[in-house]
C-alpha cells in the first residue's frame, strides 16, 4: 500500500490488514473516501470492510461492546467472571459498599468502551472512588465531542481480580495468538528523576514509539506515584520499582509478551467457548490468571469483537505473529 494512499485510515488494525492484503496479491478498492469502506478482491471473491467491521463476525457481535451484558451472559454459561454492577452515581457505589455487595479493592470503568479508557483499578478508598468518577466524567465529555449520544451516564463497578493479564486471540474456533500484558513500571538507577525515567520508559515502548506518542501522564499515573510517596523530581534508589498504572492495557503503556506457545489447553477451551457463546469468528478474550501455562482459577473480564492486533504482530518481547495474514486467509481460503 502506497504511503498516504488512504490518509483517513488511522486505525492500526485496518492499516495492517490493507497492507498485508496488498502484499498478498489481494486487490484493494476504496468504496468512498468519506467512509472507511474497502472492497478486497481475490480471484472470484469480494469481501468488504466498513469502519471497524472486518466483516467476519455476525451483526450480534456488537453485543460484546457492552461489557456488563457480556459478563452476565458468560456467567450463565459457567464461565468465571468477576462480580459486576451497573451504577449511575457515586451514592450507588457507596451503597454497594455499605451493603457489602462489593468490597475493596474493586474497579470502576465505562461499560461501553475499550482501550483502557477511564478504567480505574485496585480502588481501596473513597478518594480513589472520586478520582475514578472524575475520569469517567472526562470520558463522557470526550464522548460527546465524538458525537456519541448517551441517554444516561451509567458505569460499571467490578470486582478486582488479581493475577496476570492475558489477551487470547481466537479465529474461527482456534487460538491463533496469545499475549501477556505486563504493568508499566519504572526502575530507579540512583541518578535519574521519576520524570526522566517515565520519559525514557515511553520512548522505548514499541506502541508509543511507533505512534510517536508522548508519555501518558494523567490522573491515574499521578495516583500511582502518590501511592509510592514519590514525586516527578524524586530520584529513585537503584533497583527501586514504581508501577505507573493499575491496568496493563497496551494503550496505557503495558508491555506485551508473546506467550502463544505457553498457553495451557484449558484456557484455549475457555476462550473458544466464550467466543462461541456470542457466535464470534474473530475476538480477543481478556483473561486473568496466575500462570497461563498451568490450569488454575481464572476470570474473563472482557471480550473484544474488534481486537487490536499490534500486541500480537509487534510485541515488546517474543516472536511476531502475522495475525493479519491469518485473518485474510480465513476470508480467502485459497490465499497462500
Place of cell 476462550: 271
Reference 305, options 130, 59, 46, 62; nearest CA is: 62
pLDDT one-digit tens code per residue, 1-36 = 445 577 778 888 888 999 999 999 999 998 877 777
Residue 77 lies in a domain: no
246-269 as b/e, with b when 16 or more CB fall inside 10 Å?
bbbbbbbbbbbbbbbeebeeebbe
- What's the pLDDT score for residue 63? 83
Region 229-257 average pLDDT: 92
User: What is the rounded average pLDDT for all residues in the chain?
Assistant: 90
Residue 100, preceding peptide bond in cis (omega within 30° of 0):
no
Domain boundary among 160, 193, 227: 160
Same domain, 96 and 143: yes
Total of domains in the chain: 3
Whole-number Å distance between alpha carbons of 264 and 285:
15
- What's the pLDDT score for residue 150? 56
- What's the pLDDT score for residue 59? 67
Same domain, 16 and 53: yes
Residue 5 lies in a domain: no
Same domain, 145 and 90: yes
What are the residues whose beta carbons fall under 8 Å from the beta carbon of 106, sequence distance 6 or more?
123, 157, 158, 159, 160
Q: Are 126 and 162 in contact (CB under 8 A)?
A: no
Q: What percent of the chain has pLDDT over 90?
A: 70
Domain boundary among 144, 160, 176: 160
226 has a pLDDT exceeding 60: yes
Same domain, 107 and 145: yes
Cβ burial, residue 202 (10 Å; 0-12/13-18/19+)? buried
Cα 39 to Cα 87, 208, 209, 280, distances in angstroms: 42, 30, 31, 22
- What's the pLDDT score for residue 65? 87
Residue 4 lies in a domain: no
Q: Are 269 and 233 in contact (CB under 8 A)?
A: no
Least confident of 107-116, 200-209, 237-246, 292-301: 200-209
Residue 191 lies in a domain: yes
Domain boundary among 125, 160, 195: 160
203: which 3 cell numbers? 520512548
- What's the pLDDT score for residue 49? 83
Same domain, 190 and 236: yes
Residue 312 lies in a domain: no
122 has a pLDDT exceeding 90: yes
Residue 252 lies in a domain: no
What are the residues whose beta carbons fall under 8 Å from the beta carbon of 137, sequence distance 6 or more?
none
281-301 as b/e, with b when 16 or more CB fall inside 10 Å?
bbbbbbbbbeebeeeeebbbb
- What's the pLDDT score for residue 1? 42
Residue 217 lies in a domain: yes
Region 79-103 average pLDDT: 96
Same domain, 38 and 105: no
- What's the pLDDT score for residue 113? 80
DSSP 164-186: EEEEEEEESSSEEEEEEEEPPEE
Whole-number Å distance between alpha carbons of 28 and 17:
10
pLDDT one-digit tens code per residue, 131-157 = 999 999 988 887 776 666 554 689 999
DSSP state of 62: G
Residue 61: pLDDT band by 50, 70, 90 thresholds?
Answer: confident
- What's the pLDDT score for residue 146? 62
52 has a pLDDT exceeding 80: no
User: For residue 208, what are the domain limits?
Assistant: 185-245
The rounded radius of gyration (Å) of the Cα atoms in the chain is 21
Residue 309 lies in a domain: no
Amino acid at each position: 500500500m502506497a504511503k498516504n494512499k488512504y490518509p483517513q485510515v488511522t486505525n492500526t488494525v485496518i492499516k495492517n490488514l490493507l497492507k498485508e492484503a496488498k502484499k498478498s496479491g489481494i486487490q484493494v478498492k476504496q468504496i468512498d473516501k468519506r467512509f472507511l469502506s474497502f472492497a478486497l478482491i481475490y480471484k472470484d471473491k469480494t469481501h468488504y470492510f466498513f469502519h471497524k467491521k472486518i466483516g467476519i463476525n455476525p451483526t450480534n457481535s456488537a453485543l460484546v461492546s457492552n461489557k456488563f451484558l457480556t459478563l452476565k451472559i458468560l456467567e450463565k454459561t459457567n464461565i468465571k467472571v468477576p462480580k459486576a454492577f451497573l451504577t449511575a452515581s457515586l451514592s450507588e457505589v457507596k451503597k454497594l459498599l455499605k451493603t457489602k455487595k462489593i468490597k475493596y479493592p474493586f474497579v470502576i470503568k465505562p461499560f461501553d468502551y475499550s482501550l483502557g479508557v477511564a478504567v480505574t483499578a485496585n480502588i481501596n478508598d473513597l478518594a480513589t472512588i472520586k478520582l475514578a468518577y472524575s475520569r469517567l466524567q472526562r470520558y463522557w465529555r470526550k464522548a460527546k465531542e465524538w458525537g456519541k449520544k448517551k441517554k444516561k451516564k451509567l458505569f460499571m463497578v467490578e470486582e478486582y481480580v488479581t493475577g496476570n493479564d492475558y489477551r487470547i486471540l481466537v479465529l474461527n474456533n482456534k487460538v491463533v495468538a496469545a499475549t501477556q500484558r505486563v504493568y508499566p513500571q519504572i526502575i530507579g538507577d540512583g541518578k535519574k528523576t521519576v520524570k526522566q525515567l517515565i520519559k525514557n520508559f515511553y520512548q522505548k515502548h514499541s506502541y508509543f514509539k511507533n505512534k510517536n506518542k508522548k508519555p501518558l501522564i494523567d490522573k491515574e499515573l499521578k495516583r500511582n506515584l502518590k501511592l509510592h510517596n514519590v514525586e516527578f523530581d524524586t530520584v529513585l534508589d537503584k533497583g527501586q520499582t514504581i508501577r505507573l498504572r493499575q491496568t496493563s492495557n497496551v494503550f496505557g503503556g503495558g508491555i506485551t509478551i508473546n506467550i502463544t506457545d505457553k498457553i495451557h489447553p484449558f484456557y484455549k477451551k475457555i476462550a473458544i467457548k466464550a467466543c462461541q457463546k456470542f457466535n464470534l469468528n474473530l475476538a480477543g478474550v481478556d483473561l486473568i490468571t496466575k500462570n497461563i501455562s498451568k490450569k488454575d482459577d481464572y476470570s474473563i473480564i472482557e471480550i473484544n469483537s474488534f481486537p487490536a492486533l499490534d500486541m500480537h504482530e509487534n510485541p515488546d518481547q517474543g516472536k511476531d505473529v502475522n495475525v493479519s495474514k491469518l485473518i485474510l486467509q480465513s476470508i480467502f481460503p485459497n490465499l497462500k
